[in-house]
A = this chain, B = another copy of it.
């Protein structure tokens, strides 16, 4: 059961061929042949044990032999919304590590003090898929493109509790980890949505706007963290609070 034999195939049960890039990897790099075993991950809760039905240099058809339903590893959805750093490398590693540790959805926020106003999510999506395969996640996190802060706040409708991390001492802040572990979960569900701002923090008006829309004011602790470290800490804390 070699690592390389895991392939990400959205809608795998309805398809019969690997996507183009995965097919090239399967047939040219791994040199899989008719009858060889491979594993498909649909990113929606199912793995499939399959066999190569036909392999050409550009094509790889498969036949599913066994459906392997994946178990949920945590309760509720963990949703991170974060202002991306100027340096893409930092955002990329955070997304890779967040996927390994486990979250459900990420949105990049365009905030008042954001250092980065545009972002190509295709590269992020590839990193997520690679981390999903490497860490054998049953579900692929959803990657959303850059969204203006205010419209995110107004439209966000996940169940459960919603938190905004910030550094304004004049606004009372609960401890995030204590909040998600010790408080009762919301009557609408166990989902956690957590917002992390840019290096220069959210503006105080952004924080107030979020609080008016049902977000709770929190701190991740006393450490002075970079944006990407804060994002990963929030994911890690959410995991520890919701893991099964």
Q: Spell out A's residues near B (CB within 8 Å).
A: 73, 93, 97, 100-102, 134-136, 177, 221-226, 229, 232-233, 236-237, 239-240, 243
Q: In the complex this chain forms, how many copies of it are found?
A: 2
With A236-B236, A240-B177: A101-B225 Cβ-Cβ less than 8 Å: yes
CA separation between A243 and B219, bound complex, in Å?
A: 14
B222, A73: Cβ atoms under 8 Å? Answer: yes
Residues of B within 8 A of A239 (CB): 221, 223
> Whole-angstrom distance from the CB of A199 to the nearest CB of chain B?
10
13 A-B residue contacts at CB 8 Å?
A: A73-B223, A93-B93, A100-B224, A101-B223, A101-B233, A134-B224, A135-B223, A135-B224, A222-B243, A232-B232, A236-B237, A237-B240, A240-B240
Chain A interface mostly: helix
B225, A135: Cβ atoms under 8 Å? Answer: yes
Residues of B within 8 A of A225 (CB): 100-101, 135
> Whole-angstrom distance from the CB of A35 to the nearest CB of chain B?
28
> Whole-angstrom distance from the CB of A93 to the nearest CB of chain B?
6
CA separation between A93 and B90, bound complex, in Å?
A: 9
Residues of B within 8 A of A243 (CB): 221-222
Residues of B within 8 A of A135 (CB): 223-226
A224, B136: Cβ atoms under 8 Å? Answer: yes
CA separation between A9 and B140, bound complex, in Å?
A: 46
CA separation between A228 and B150, bound complex, in Å?
A: 36
A100, B226: Cβ atoms under 8 Å? Answer: yes
A223, B102: Cβ atoms under 8 Å? Answer: yes
> Whole-angstrom distance from the CB of A136 to the nearest CB of chain B?
5
Closest chain B residue, CB of each to CB of A93: B93
Closest chain B residue, CB of each to CB of A90: B93
Closest chain B residue, CB of each to CB of A240: B177
With A135-B224, A240-B177: A229-B97 Cβ-Cβ less than 8 Å: yes
* Besides A73-B223, A93-B93, 14 new A-B residue pairs in contact (Cβ under 8 A), listed by A number: A73-B222, A97-B232, A100-B224, A100-B226, A100-B229, A101-B229, A101-B233, A134-B226, A135-B224, A135-B226, A136-B224, A236-B236, A236-B237, A240-B240
